[in-house]
Amino acid sequence: MSSSTMLVLGPKLWVALAALTAAAAAVAAVGRLGHSRQIMVAALRAAVQLTAVSLLIAAIVASHWATAGFVVLMCLVASGTSARRVGAGRSGWWVALPIVAGSLTVVAALLAAGLLPARGIAVIPVAGILIGGAMTATSLAGRRAVDELTGRRGEVEAALALGLSPRDAVLLVCRAAAAQALIPALDQTRTVGLVTLPGAFVGVLLGGASPIEAGVTQLFVLVGLLAVEAVAVVLTVELVARGRLHPREPIPALAG
């Protein structure tokens, strides 16, 4: 195995990837999870997209404009994915706000402070990690909040009848459920080094850095993700509370 890669490249790797994908789809089918087809499609899309990015990455990172364009593309794809997951109909595109506000603010701050080199090879992976974290947190928070708002409609109307403002009534029902979107990031940060060695740590090690440098890099990534995801969750809940992000069938009592 080469010192610069975690896996032995070759036909066996492709067979293993196909087998793992088939196994995941089969388990989902047997367990009646309803996602077996999506697993196959997701794996195929990942293979195609990673192949395309691998071929284009050299040209992208060499240009500041291409780098900025690729970051914008990542934000658009993340927003579209999260909008579908939240299930809020046309209002779902409001999820772009928490995704962009959380992730790109941190990237801009790091660039301004000189902590992140203004080179595509550095900006793209860091932006991708942060945008991905914001997307996940926004999807989870938005979906939980919208589901709670739909399932506990009577409680919202009761709170309004007691004199609470529409925003406070929605927050009363949705905030605690949406806050659970932070649990994956919290658990990952608490258990890093004991349960998992995340990709940034391993990648920096394989790149020739010392274990201390790899550890500091991973700590930065995890803390950055916590900050980004906290911002994303708070903004998502606020969007729901203010009626910008709402169920496909809005609650009449909250209209206006």
In angstroms, the CA 184 to CA 190 distance is: 10
Q: Are 233 and 186 in contact (CB under 8 A)?
A: no
pLDDT of 97: 93
Q: Are 91 and 246 in contact (CB under 8 A)?
A: yes
pLDDT of 132: 92
pLDDT of 84: 87
User: Mean pLDDT in each 10-residue stretch from start to end of the chain (256 residues)?
Assistant: 58 86 89 85 88 78 86 92 82 88 89 85 87 92 86 81 84 86 86 70 62 76 88 91 74 56
pLDDT of 2: 46
pTM above 0.75, yes or no: yes
The torsion region of residue 102 among left (phi > 0), alpha (psi -120 to 50) and beta comes to: alpha
* Of 143, 23, 38, 148, nearest in space to 95 by CA: 143
In angstroms, the CA 112 to CA 128 distance is: 18
Residue 41: how many other CB atoms lie within 10 Å: 12
* Of 49, 47, 26, 46, nearest in space to 37 by CA: 26
The torsion region of residue 165 among left (phi > 0), alpha (psi -120 to 50) and beta comes to: beta
**Runs of H (alpha helix) within the chain:** 11-30, 36-61, 64-86, 96-113, 120-151, 153-161, 166-179, 183-191, 199-206, 211-241
pLDDT of 1: 43
For residue range 40-52, list pLDDT tens digits in order. Answer: 999 898 888 888 8
